[in-house]
Structure 1
Amino acid sequence: MRLLHTTATKKPHCSPFLKKRFLFILSSRLKMTPTRNARAFLLFISAVILLWRAGCGGKILIVPLEGSHWVNMDIIIKALHARGHSVDVVRTNKSWYIKNDSPHYKTITVPVAQAFNQDFINPIVKKVIGIERGESSVISFLSLQIEMFNAMTDMHGMICKMATTMFEDENLMSNLKARKYDLVLTDPAWGAGILLAHALKVPMIYNVRFATSGEGHLAIAPSPISYIPITGSGLTDSMTFIQRVKNIIFYVIWKAQDIFLICPQYQAVCNKFFGPEVTYSGLLQGADLWLMRVDFVFEFPRPTMPNVIYIGGFQCKPSQPLPGHLEDFVQSSGEHGFILMSLGTFVTELPADLVNEIAAAFAKLPQKVIWKYKSDRPAALGNNTLLVDWMPQNELLGHPKVKLFVSHGGTNGIQEAIYHGVPIMGLPVFFDQYDNLLRLKVKGAAKIVTLATVDQENNFLKAIQEVLNNPSYRMNMQRLSKLHRDKPVTPLDNALFWIEFVMRHKGAAHLKATSYRMPWYSYHSVDVVLSFLAAAAVITLTCVLFRLVCLEKSLKRKTNGINRK
């Protein structure tokens, strides 16, 4: 186990004494002879600024997710570091994206036998692509669900082992407690950060789109499934009767996965280290703030809660100049412009026939193409296509010559496309990607081609040509871009404000509803309904018995009268 410490800092508010002292020293230094002490003065000013930032900074523990989730978490970390906060990041010794050394944070490395990285994700992606490209049937649907169930179970099992390793290391836990963190910022798509925040008794904030139980809103906000589509259902917020039946089926699938496969693993960790009275579902719902990585330009309108803060597009920013070789390439596209294609961090290779189909379609276009692709060069690749291992996606999407973004539908890429007003041709692979693209499709800003239909009747080429040649796609995306940008503060500044708000006030209990503390039968008023039914049953039974008694007495009177006659 290796634990790296960061420099000790003060609480997240500046000491008035320090401020006055710095100003006094600064004013006295200003009386020095400039020519003689210029260099010393500049060094002194730099030291004052650094000390001032250290005096104003807090201590933040980050427990992130890997892959694309880390990419956006790293943006928040850099912004927090720039504001003078001290940041520690929990990672594994088999980390995929999180570097051990960084000027913005220090790492706490946890040794694990298996981790969420390319070795884990690549076999899953291959299986999912194979199932998606197969014949659509009930069997293929069940196969896909089983594969996702297995992947989720294995992933959360690894995270629970990681949490157990941390809690069993007394030296690590004592060091973490000694740091006296002001805040834990975590991605609840896995539960290690949730458990660690409880162990340290520290306020907790989520950088969230999905929690371990499913889409984030489902864990905290009222979510009528009559018009809120469940992830994987491929539905919008306007459903027919049959679609609502389908939506309920997907809701049951997600709940079953959470109740029987995921939650028990985390609850076992709670039972072992915190006691059975601490429930994992309560810890999950008990975060002070949920920084939700969407906004309602992208997401369908729905009920929400006061401690849910929408920061969709916080990673977006105006584009910077491209590297020379990329700028030369896009300028060579002339009036036709260029197309950008990326399938994100999880998909590093595709079946050879599918890759050649895509390459052949690109070769028929007058536009230049920049394609993020790390595997073997496709045989059908045209001279207009440039393959790259990495690309500055934000800068390319913000370039005036970009015409189209071919995307798998990841949240980061979609938000950047919205920010820059670039229409999308979607090629979803798995999980929430189809649902993300569908939200843009119903707004007229994207077209979708599934993996099963890419190589059928030139579908891929036709879809690209439709988006390129129909101006409504670009117009609709630019309309969404204007809506997204029209905010009083930027999403990143909004996120930073609320993070520091929780640090200043040691939580945000006044924003948290008590619903997560209520048992399910109280939350849904089942006990109240049953009490009403019981009271109605008692009254009804009393009336019936009274009626029977009265009837019996009446019959006796009639019988006695007849007998007397």
Structure 2
Amino acid sequence: MKVIIEELHSRGHQVSVVRQTDSWYIKETSPFYTSITIEGESGFDEDFISSFVAQLLEIQREGKSAWTRLKLEMEQAEKASEFHIKSCKILETIFESKELIQSMQEAKYDLILTDPVIPVGIIIAHYLKLPLVFNVRWTSHGEGHFSIAPSPLSYVPLTGTELSDKMTFFESLNVIVFAFNEYQITVNIYPYYRDLLKKYLGTETDYISMFQAADLWLMRVDFVFEFPRPTMPNVVYMGGFQCKLAKPLPEDLEEFVQSSGDNGFIVMSLGTLIGELPCDLADGIAAAFAKLPQKVIWRYKGSRPTTLGNNTLLVDWMPQNDLLGHPKIKLFVAHGGTNGVQEAMYHGVPILGLPLIFDQRDNLLRIEARGAGKNLDISSINEETFFQGIHEILSEPSYRLNMQRLSRLHRDQPMKPLENALFWIEFVMRHRGAAHLRTESYRLPWYSYHSVDVMLFLAVIMIVILGTSAFMIKCLCSVCLRKKTKRD
């Protein structure tokens, strides 16, 4: 969101950002926006997230089984419920503050820009009757496309199933997973907002319809990365919008990188949420790195691994984009977060994937399916398997060539993704919405959307026609028989 806010500010727009007192990333003061701080906990603080991620990692290391997967889903559902409870409290705080609501109404905002993974911004937009723009990959109830676009499960893989768009008959049974997810959403999300929506927005407000009524969906993927699928006119793709050309490295990092000679260097980062790993796993990774002729820059906040080699530099922070754009980069060892995957694709760097949580496995599956990377399972990784994975990507040129091909495709666009996103945000501002791009399907009941009523009507007509025809034939036969009987 910061990238878009800074660009909006540079174009002369005034931005207000609603935040909670415990916001981890969103500072109260900034030269780019005015903050509106709400008293209350979002739950998204560094300690909570770190312990949650550690717990998910521990569950996965128990082994790959149906029981492990069920425990993982249950744990994530439980924590999601906690977030939604806190979101409802934040919304109540906002709505009960007459002064705050009045100030929002008097500000005469042009639109609300929000990430729909938590629906606070959406509900405020509907209350204030403002145009609504999403910066989206996820909604509160799943991958964004499934809320707005037709999604045939025969070739559109459900996120979390780790399937591609080429499914066998048994893989296409992921419709069962879809049904289970819908049940989970009905039980674990809708109830938290039902009374709140009724109280503040009226009895006619439907939770899902609020999402579908958004004017614009700025989707953080593109079809170089995503599998082909149906989409809608108000979905604008801005995958890689945060990517940019590499800047010169700080002097100490440039010196370390240059010391790698012709062997080049490897970057490893597991993102902001995963700062450390279990000691045995970290030691195995460090030992594998120590065997390599390449230099390694590893973003790691945990205890120093006992097997760390002289070729490996541990850092608390790294200029990831600038390192991935360096000419000596050979490989990116990554957890599969959307930003890191897109930056690697932008710069044409192959990936060795260590998917850990959330959507990371599916993100890396898309890279692996295109031959631009290889994935390892965290439940079975050790020094040997990790070393073999690195060696395979470094020694097989096709990985780099395939990722460079993706990079060329991604960059070959008439307009940069960020410029495209900003054009459409300003379009919504100029026209006070984009209703002409928005489908009205969300207003239809499910039986009308799927034409069940039409099919039943046609079936009734066919039954009447066939029944009438059968009755007429029966009558004709009866008349003919009577005439024949009389003649006899």
TM-score bracket for this pair, using the shorter chain length: over 0.9
The residue number in structure 2 matching 1:57 is none
Partner letter of residue 462 of structure 1?
Q
Residue in 2 that maps onto 1:520: 446
Structure 2 distance, partners of 1:349, 1:227, is 37
CA contact (8 A) 2:20 2:41 kept: no
| Unmatched tracts of structure 2, length 5 or more | none
Aligned equivalents of 1:489, 1:524: Cα separation in 2? 36
Q: Give a deviation string over 1:354-400, Cα, whole Å, max 9, x none.
A: 11111111111111111111121111111111111111111111111
Structure 1's 286 and 114: CA in aligned 2 closer, same or farther, altered over 3 A?
A: closer
Counterpart position of 1:484: 410
Kindly tell me the number of residue pairs found equivalent between the two proteins: 488
C-alpha displacement of 1:127? 2.4
Distance 1:124 1:543 in 2: 67
Measured in 1, the distance between the counterparts of 2:22 and 2:484 equals 93
Mapped pair 1:454 → 2:364: no
CA distance in 2, matches of 1:404, 1:313: 19
Matched, 1:364 2:279: no
Residues 1:266 and 2:193 are matched in the alignment: yes
C-alpha distance in 2, partners of 1:375/1:171?
A: 45
Q: 2:270 maps to what in 1?
A: 343
Matched, 1:222 2:157: no
Alignment correspondent of 1:410: 337
TM-superposed CA distance for 1:540, in Å, is 3.5
Out of 392, 395, 418, the residue aligned to residue 466 of structure 1 is 392
User: What percent of counterpart residues are identical?
Assistant: 56
Aligned match of 2:213: 286
Whether 1:432 aligns to 2:359 is: yes
Query: How far has the Cα of 1:546 moved from its partner?
Result: 5.2
Query: What TM-score, normalized by structure 1, do the two folds share?
Result: 0.83
The whole-number CA distance in structure 1 between the counterparts of 2:41 and 2:179 is: 33
Are the aligned partners of 1:88 and 1:107 in contact in 2 as well (CA < 8 Å)?
Answer: yes
The separation in 1 between residues aligned to 2:140 and 2:105, in whole angstroms, is 26
Q: Which runs of 5+ in 1 are unaligned?
A: 1-72
Does structure 1 residue 140 correspond to structure 2 residue 68?
yes
Contact 2:125 2:131 in 1 (8 A): yes
Check whether the contact 1:340–1:404 (CA below 8 A) recurs between aligned residues.
yes
1:501 aligns with 2:427: yes
Which AA in structure 2 matches 1:469?
Answer: S
> Which residue of structure 2 aligns with residue 380 of structure 1?
307
Distance 1:476 1:399 in 2: 18
- 1:399 aligned residue: 326
1:75 aligns with 2:3: yes
Contact 1:312 1:491 in 2 (8 A): yes
In the TM superposition, 1:21-60 aligns within 5 A as none
CA distance in 2, matches of 1:268, 1:536: 44
User: Conserved in 1, the CA contact under 8 Å of 2:84 and 2:118?
Assistant: yes
Shift of the alpha carbon at 1:333? 1.3
SS at match of 2:25: coil
Residue deviations 1:263-290, cap 9 Å, x none?
Answer: 3323332112111201121111011111
Q: Secondary structure at the match of 2:189?
A: helix
In the other structure, the counterpart of 1:84 is 12
Counterpart position of 1:116: 44
Alpha-carbon separation, structure 1, partners of 2:463 and 2:54: 58
Letter in 2 for 1:212: S
For 1:114 and 1:300, the matched residues in 2 are separated by 33
3-state DSSP of counterpart to 1:458? helix
The one of 177, 187, 190 equivalent to 2:115 is: 187
**Cα deviation code 1:210-229 (max 9, x no counterpart):** 11221111111111110111
- 1:323-334 matches, within 5 Å, as 323-334=250-261
Secondary structure of 2:217 counterpart: strand
Q: Would the aligned equivalents of 1:92 and 1:115 in 2 still touch at CA under 8 Å?
A: no
2:290–2:312 CA contact under 8 A, matched in 1: yes
Q: Over residues 313-340 of structure 1, what are the superposed CA-to-partner deviations in whole Å (9 max), with x where a residue is unaligned?
A: 1101111111111111111111111111
| 1:199, distance to aligned residue in structure 2 (A) | 1.1
Larger radius of gyration between Structure 1 and Structure 2: 1
Per the normalisation by structure 2, the TM-score is 0.96
Q: Deviations over 1:505-540 (max 9, x none)?
A: 111111111111111111110110111122223334
CA distance in 2 between counterparts of 1:133 and 1:557 reads 86
Give the corresponding residue for 1:9. none
1:56 is matched with which residue?
A: none
Which structure 2 residues correspond to residues 228-267 of structure 1 after superposition, within 5 A? 228-245=156-173, 247-267=174-194
For 2:196, give the aligned amino acid.
Answer: V
Q: Deviations over 1:93-142 (max 9, x none)?
A: 01111111111111111111452222332333222212211132222222
Q: Which residue matches 2:106?
A: 178
Aligned 8 A contact 2:42 2:83 in 1: no
Task: Please state whether the residue corresponding to 2:321 is helix, strand or coil.
Answer: helix
Are the counterparts in 1 of residues 267 and 296 from structure 2 also a CA contact under 8 Å? Answer: yes
